[in-house]
C-alpha cells in the first residue's frame, strides 16, 4: 500500500511522525507492504515554491492509495492574499481528489471519560461518526458576496445542492452504518429550507436500498440538543456542509479534547486522513503536542482505505490502554495524571501495541 505523507505546518510534522511510527509497526505486525512518499503542502510549500500546493504534490497524492496530512497554516502566512494562504492547499487537494464526504468519528475512551464536560453516565459508551458533505452547500454556492443597494450593504450566500451531491454522501453514510450498529440519523432543517426538503427526500429514497439500517430524521437544532442529552444513542449522523461543520465540533468536545479526534475525507477513489486539530504554532517544536488524533487517523486509514478492521482495533485498543494507565499530554492533563510529551506518548502506545498483539 502506498501512502502519500504531507507533514504540514506547526505541530504537523511532529504528530505525523508519531502516526508513521505506529503505522510502520502495525504494517510490520500484519505483514503489509508499506511504501511512503512525501509531498509538501501549506506554509512550507509557500516558503519553498511560492504556492500552497504544487502539481507535483497533487500527482503524488493521486498515485497513492491514501494521503496522511498534518495541519496547515499559521500567523506567518496570515497576511498573504486569500488565494495564496496555506489553507488553499487543503481546499485544492479536496477538490482535485473529489473528496466529498468528511468522516469525523467521536469515541469516548474509558481512560479519558473524566475529561468530558458531560457526566460520565451520559457520555459513557459514546461511539459515533458524523458524515459531513464536504464539497458543496452554502460554502460553495453562487451567487455570494457583499454588495450595496440604495446606500445599504447586503451580504448574500447561496445554499445549493443537487440530488446527486446529496445521494453520494448519503450512500457513504448508509454503507458505514451497515458496518457499525445499523442506525443512521439524517440532520436537516426541512421545516424551513427547500434544500433540506430535497435532502430528506433523497435520504428516504436511498433507505429503500439499505433496509437493514434504521433511519431517523432530526432537525439540526434538535440534534444539537440531543447530542448533549444522549450522545451514546447515536451511531452515524449524516448532514450537509454547514450543519456538519457545527455538529462535528460540538460532538468533538464530548470526547474531552479536539487533540484526540481523527478525521477522513473520502471520495469515490481517494481518501485523505488528518487530525481535527489545527497547526498550533504556539507549541510547535516543544515536544508537547498530542499525537493521538493523528495516530487514530492512521487507524481510520487501515479500516477505510485498506479494509482491515483488526489493525484499526489494535491501534484504538492501544490508545485506550495507554490512557487508562494515566498517561496524558498537556492538553488533556489533570492533576494526578502522568504528564508526558509527544514522543513519550507515542512510545507508550507502541508498547501497548506490542503487548496486545503478543498477549
Domain membership flag for residue 147? no
pLDDT, residue 257, reads 75
Mean pLDDT is lowest, of 127-131, 189-193, 302-306, for 302-306
Domain that holds residue 353: 1-107+260-359
Indicate the DSSP class of residue 69.
Answer: E
Catalytic residue check, 348: no
Domain count of the chain? 2
321 and 230 in a common domain = no
The residue from 9, 188, 235, 245 that is catalytic is 245
The residue from 249, 317, 320, 337 that is catalytic is 249
pLDDT, residue 100, reads 97
Return the H-helix or E-strand segment holding 292: helix 292-304
Catalytic residue check, 127: no
pLDDT band for position 336 (cuts 50, 70, 90): confident
CATH code where residue 296 lies: 3.40.718.10
Quick: pLDDT tens for 147-171.
Answer: 999 999 999 999 999 999 999 999 9
Q: Is the pLDDT of residue 114 over 90?
A: no
Task: State the cell numbers at 69.
Answer: 496530512
Going by DSSP bridges, is the β-strand pair 214-219/35-39 parallel, antiparallel, or unpaired? Answer: unpaired
DSSP E strands in the chain: the ranges are 2-6, 35-39, 66-69, 101-107, 127-133, 145-149, 152-156, 183-188, 214-219, 236-239, 262-266, 271-275, 327-328, 338-339
pLDDT, residue 260, reads 86
Distance CA(214)–CA(192), nearest Å, equals 25
Grid cell 507502541 in the structure block, residue: 350
247 and 174 in a common domain = yes
Average pLDDT, the chain: 94
Q: Is the pLDDT of residue 121 over 90?
A: yes
121 and 192 in a common domain = yes
The residue from 47, 201, 221, 282 that is catalytic is 221
103 and 7 in a common domain = yes
Q: Quote the distance between the C-alpha of residue 179 and its chain's center.
A: 18
Q: Is the pLDDT of residue 179 over 80?
A: yes
Domain membership flag for residue 73? yes
In 3-state terms, what secondary structure has residue 239?
strand
pLDDT, residue 333, reads 85
Q: Which of 323, 325, 324, 311 is nearest to 353 (CA)?
A: 311
Q: What is the mean pLDDT of residues 347-359?
A: 93
pLDDT, residue 28, reads 94
Q: What are phi and psi of 322, to 5 degrees?
A: -65, -40
Catalytic residue check, 201: no
Catalytic residue check, 189: yes
Mean pLDDT is lowest, of 84-88, 182-186, 316-320, for 84-88
Distance CA(296)–CA(291), nearest Å, equals 9
Domain membership flag for residue 148? no
pLDDT, residue 252, reads 86
Q: What is the mean pLDDT of residues 182-190?
A: 98
266 and 248 in a common domain = no
Question: Do the beta carbons of residue 21 and residue 350 sit within 8 Å?
Answer: yes
Quick: pLDDT tens for 5-55.
Answer: 999 999 999 999 999 999 999 999 999 999 999 999 999 999 999 999 999
The residue from 139, 182, 317, 333 that is catalytic is 139
Question: Do the beta carbons of residue 39 and residue 75 sit within 8 Å?
Answer: no
pLDDT band for position 186 (cuts 50, 70, 90): very high
Q: Is the pLDDT of residue 119 over 80?
A: yes
346 and 273 in a common domain = yes
Catalytic residue check, 221: yes
Quick: pLDDT tens for 231-278.
Answer: 999 999 999 999 999 999 899 889 877 778 999 999 999 999 999 988
The residue from 25, 88, 107, 189 that is catalytic is 189
183 and 308 in a common domain = no
Indicate the DSSP class of residue 241.
Answer: H
Give the predicted TM-score (pTM) of the model: 0.91
Q: What are phi and psi of 16, to 5 degrees?
A: -65, -40
Domain membership flag for residue 305? yes
pLDDT band for position 222 (cuts 50, 70, 90): very high
CATH code where residue 194 lies: 3.40.50
pLDDT, residue 182, reads 98
- Give the Cα-Cα-Cα angle 32, 34, 39 (nearest 5 degrees): 155
319 and 234 in a common domain = no
Q: How far is CA 286 from CA 158, 303, 343, in A?
A: 43, 32, 11
Q: Which of 228, 254, 280 is the last residue of a domain?
A: 254
Domain membership flag for residue 26? yes
pLDDT band for position 111 (cuts 50, 70, 90): confident
Mean pLDDT is lowest, of 127-131, 139-143, 296-300, 340-344, for 139-143
Q: What is the mean pLDDT of residues 189-207?
A: 97
Amino acid at each position: 500500500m502506498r501512502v502519500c505523507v504531507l507533514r504540514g505546518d506547526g505541530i504537523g510534522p511532529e504528530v505525523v511522525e508519531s502516526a508513521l511510527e505506529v503505522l510502520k509497526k502495525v504494517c510490520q505486525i500484519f505483514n503489509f507492504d508499506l511504501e511512503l512518499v512525501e509531498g509538501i503542502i501549506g506554509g512550507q510549500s509557500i516558503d519553498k515554491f511560492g504556492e500552497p500546493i504544487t502539481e507535483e504534490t497533487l500527482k503524488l497524492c493521486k498515485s497513492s492509495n491514501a494521503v496522511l496530512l498534518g495541519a496547515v497554516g499559521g500567523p506567518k502566512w496570515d497576511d498573504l492574499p486569500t488565494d495564496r494562504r496555506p489553507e488553499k492547499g487543503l481546499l485544492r487537494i479536496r477538490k482535485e481528489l473529489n473528496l466529498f464526504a468528511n468522516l469525523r468519528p467521536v469515541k469516548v475512551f474509558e481512560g479519558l471519560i473524566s475529561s468530558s464536560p458531560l457526566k460520565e453516565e451520559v457520555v459513557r459508551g459514546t461511539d459515533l461518526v458524523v458524515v459531513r458533505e464536504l464539497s458543496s452547500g452554502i460554502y460553495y454556492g453562487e451567487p455570494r458576496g457583499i454588495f450595496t443597494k440604495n446606500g445599504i450593504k447586503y451580504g448574500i450566500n447561496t445554499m445549493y445542492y443537487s440530488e446527486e451531491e446529496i445521494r453520494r454522501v448519503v450512500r457513504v453514510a448508509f454503507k458505514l452504518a451497515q458496518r457499525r450498529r445499523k442506525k443512521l440519523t439524517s440532520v436537516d432543517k426541512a421545516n424551513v429550507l427547500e434544500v433540506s426538503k430535497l435532502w430528506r427526500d433523497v435520504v428516504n429514497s436511498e433507505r429503500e436500498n439499505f433496509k437493514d439500517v434504521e433511519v431517523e430524521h432530526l432537525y439540526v437544532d434538535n440534534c444539537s440538543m440531543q447530542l448533549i442529552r444522549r450522545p451514546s444513542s447515536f451511531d452515524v449522523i449524516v448532514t450537509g456542509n454547514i450543519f456538519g461543520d457545527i455538529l462535528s465540533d460540538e460532538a468533538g468536545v464530548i470526547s474531552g479534547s479536539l487533540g484526540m479526534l481523527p478525521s477522513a475525507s473520502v471520495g469515490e477513489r481517494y481518501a485523505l486522513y488528518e487530525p481535527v486539530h489545527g497547526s498550533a504554532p504556539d507549541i510547535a517544536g516543544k515536544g508537547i503536542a498530542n499525537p493521538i488524533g493523528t495516530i487514530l487517523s492512521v487507524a481510520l486509514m487501515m479500516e477505510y482505505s485498506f479494509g482491515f478492521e483488526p489493525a484499526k482495533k489494535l491501534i484504538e485498543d492501544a490508545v485506550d490502554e495507554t490512557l487508562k494507565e494515566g498517561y496524558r499530554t498537556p492538553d488533556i492533563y489533570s492533576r494526578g495524571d502522568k504528564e508526558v510529551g509527544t514522543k513519550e506518548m507515542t512510545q507508550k502506545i507502541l508498547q501497548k501495541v506490542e503487548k496486545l498483539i503478543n498477549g
